Amino acid sequence: MRALNPVYTALPTTIFEHMSGLARALGAINLGQGFPDAPPSPVLSAAVARAMAERSQHYPPMAGIPELRDAVAGYYRRSQGLELVREHVVVTSGATEAIAAAVLAVVSPGDEVLLFQPAYDAYAPLVRRVGGVPVFVALHPPHWNYERAAIEAAITPRTRAMIINDPLNPTGTALDPMQRSLLAELAVRHDLVAICDEVWETVRFDGQRHRSLLAEPGMAERTVKIGSAGKIFGATGWKVGWMVAAPEMAGVLAKAHQFLTFTTPPMLQWAMAEGLADDGLIADQVAAWAQTRAVLDQGLAAHGFAVLPGVATWFSCIDLAASGIARDDRVVAERLVREAGIASIPLSALWEGADAPRHILRLCHCKPGAMLEAAIDRMARWRDGAL
């Protein structure tokens, strides 16, 4: 038999699937892969059922049903002050597909793309698959700030784009106005496209309204803003996402998208259109996650774990060394799941190169309070040698 593509043969299984697989096999509490255990709001489930009964279940328009494209534009007008219309929006089957379409549309062979580490592990493989060259810029704990000197040193005449994740997974940090202005200034000066993975834009716990790089001066025509209904509503398995860009750019993005998934189930699109029109539903969901986040963060701190500062996402990070665990994060993650029944994500798995921090562990907090309390107790007993 002819060998399969070596690009994929050599790739490891993603750390998220690896840790979730161990959690399933070992019956562990899964605080690794990010998803709520609870189902989405009954309001959304009812909307899907109603759409299945009353609306089409056949191919929707490739760019998304008009109702959802209008709802995305309307939601961003209300929540972020962005002046958008339907023509700015292309619906995708999840945000990872949106990232893939954006990379396909923007990056040509030989182009360099700035990636900021730690980074979602899909970015670099997607850039490489189109013949691009990932160029990594390190962010440093505990604040993970974007530093002008480091970014400028990484830019060359071949640099075509940058991928920005804001708020940032896995750290839970968000761009402040100065950092956002810096990234926009550099993008304009060097004629770069910004692919902005903003899936955590609503999952913030600092009371601040998310502001997109798309809104910065000079960025409207050079930004692809990516969003996720799965993150907004805790419906990760529904796989509904979107790209937002200037209409001319959106048309090119749609051409890349048409040869990936082409369309997304229309029943889910209609339900998400209803959800995005309900600001109270979104606020209630974030408030519920704020409560479980407090359970995890406060419980960890009470047991002597050093929780790093963060304001967003479903994740909290702990400094292992400062928590009394002087071991490599990958070793700790493997031992925790096997010996204590807790799945987590080592931050170094979201980093390429030898300079990765190896003392930080990511834990998911959008879980039932009792589950989080049990996990904290197991972690503390394992650290203290009681397991």
CATH assignment of 6-40+281-383? 3.90.1150.10
* Topology (CATH level 3) of domain 58-277: Aspartate Aminotransferase; domain 2 (3.40.640)
Greatest CA separation for the chain: 61
The number of beta carbons lying within 10 Å of the beta carbon of residue 193 is 23
Same fold? 6-40+281-383, 58-277: no
The predicted structure's pLDDT at residue 11: 75
Q: What are phi and psi of 207, to 5 degrees?
A: 75, 5
Q: Classify residue 35 by its DSSP letter.
A: -
Cα–Cα distance for residue pair 300/373, rounded to 1 Å: 9
Q: Is residue 188 exposed (0-12), middle (13-18) or buried (19+ Cβ within 10 Å)? A: middle
- Which stretches of the chain drop beneath a pLDDT of 70? 386-387
R_g of the chain, CA atoms, integer Å = 21
Cα–Cα distance for residue pair 167/210, rounded to 1 Å: 9
Q: Is residue 197 exposed (0-12), middle (13-18) or buried (19+ Cβ within 10 Å)? A: buried
Lay out the sheet containing 315-319: strands in order across. 306-307, 315-319, 360-364, 345-346
pTM: 0.95
Cα–Cα distance for residue pair 171/15, rounded to 1 Å: 16
Q: Classify residue 202 by its DSSP letter.
A: T
Q: Classify residue 211 by its DSSP letter.
A: -
Give the angle subtended at the CA of 111 by the CAs of 105 and 117, to the nearest 5°: 90
Q: Which candidate, 251, 226, 14, 238, places its Cα nearest to that of 100? A: 226
Cα–Cα distance for residue pair 155/104, rounded to 1 Å: 21
The number of beta carbons lying within 10 Å of the beta carbon of residue 83 is 10
- How far from 254 is each of 74, 111, 297, CA to CA, in Å? 20, 21, 41
The predicted structure's pLDDT at residue 13: 82
Q: Is residue 177 exposed (0-12), middle (13-18) or buried (19+ Cβ within 10 Å)? A: exposed
- Residue ranges of the domains in the chain? 6-40+281-383, 58-277
The predicted structure's pLDDT at residue 387: 65
Give the angle subtended at the CA of 97 by the CAs of 94 and 102, to the nearest 5°: 125
The number of beta carbons lying within 10 Å of the beta carbon of residue 108 is 10
Sequence-distant (6+) residues with CB within 8 A of 294 are: none
The predicted structure's pLDDT at residue 346: 96
Contact 231, 240 (CB under 8 A): no
Q: Which candidate, 292, 241, 270, 344, places its Cα nearest to that of 37? A: 292
What tokens appear for 365 in the block? 């907090």
- H helices of 190-323, in order, are 229-233, 247-257, 266-276, 279-302
The predicted structure's pLDDT at residue 10: 76
Q: In which residue are the tokens 């997109």 written?
A: 212
The predicted structure's pLDDT at residue 7: 75
The β-bridge relationship of strands 193-197 and 223-228 is parallel
